[in-house]
Amino acid sequence: MLFLLNYSTFIISGFLITVEVTLIGVGLGLILGILAALGDIFGGRIVKIIVNVYVEFFRGSPLIVQLFIFYFTIPMITGVSMDVMVTAILTLALNSGAYQKGYLKGAMEAVFKDQLMAALSLGLPMWKIFLYVVIPQALRIVIPAWSNELASMGKSTTALIVIGVREFLNTGISITAQTFRPLETYAFITITYFIWIYSMLKALDILYNKVKIPGLEPII
């Protein structure tokens, strides 16, 4: 495997791109997921329809198809093309947000039903109820489900190869093409993915145990 040292800069750059798109995609997805969950809980009929169309589209179609739509189809229709990294992050965020909306809505409703009235009776306005009562509990409840999302998104970034993003797997393919040594290259990539995702999941486990509160176990 020592020959891979010759490509270390290339490998590190690919790995960092994978980490970057995963974390930004899931992070933006969390914001989108919260907004979509709030829209689905509180929105009027039109908002609920928009949220559901969004969620069903992104959950019901393959990520690769979504990438093609955002990278090729939309620019063809609108005449506005986006940078490949922006397209990648936007698509991953929209995809992740659709899944996270489901986890977050369940977690919010679990908090919401039995405590909203109590918070309301104290005179708290709705935005403070969300800030101080709903969100702190929903985020704790959702951590285990969020771990799955992070692991799944980390692996899904390999799909970005179809629009030419120089992510980790893409660097491996390029190295293999130059060296004709696929066994060592892909073994290295697999092990790196495994260590990276395992570390993220362990970190979330530690976080979950740190913020865990008796009686506030996940319901999902």
Partner 1 sequence: MTSILECRGLTKVYGKVIAVNNVSLGIGRGETKVIFGPSGSGKSTLLRCLGLLEKPTKGSIYFNGVDVYASKQDLNKLRARIGFVFQDPSLFRHLTALGNVMLGLKHVLGLSDAEARRKAYEALKLVKMEDWANYYPAQLSGGQQQRVGIARAISMDPEVVLFDEPTAALDVELKWEVIAVMRDLAERGTTMLVATHELRFAREVADEMIFMDQGQIIEAGSPDHFFTSPNTERARKFMAKILG
Q: How far is the CB of 39 from partner 1 (least distance, A)?
A: 23
Query: Contacting partner 1 (CB under 8 A), which of 62, 75, 125, 182?
Result: 125
Report the distance separating Cα 155 and Cα 26, nearest Å.
Answer: 12
Q: CB–CB of 121/56 below 8 Å?
A: no
**79 makes contact with partner 1 (CB under 8 A):** no
**117 makes contact with partner 1 (CB under 8 A):** yes
Cα radius of gyration (the chain): 20
**106 makes contact with partner 1 (CB under 8 A):** no
Q: How far is the CB of 114 from partner 1 (least distance, A)?
A: 5
CB nearer to partner 1: pick between 10 and 208: 208
Q: CB–CB of 168/15 below 8 Å?
A: yes
Helical spans, DSSP H, in the chain: 8-42, 45-60, 63-68, 74-78, 84-121, 126-129, 135-156, 168-179, 182-211
Which of the ranges 61-69, 96-104, 111-119, 176-184 carries the binding residues for partner 1, by CB under 8 A?
111-119
Q: Which residues bind partner 1 (CB under 8 A)?
A: 111, 114-115, 117-125, 128, 132-133, 136-137, 140, 213-216
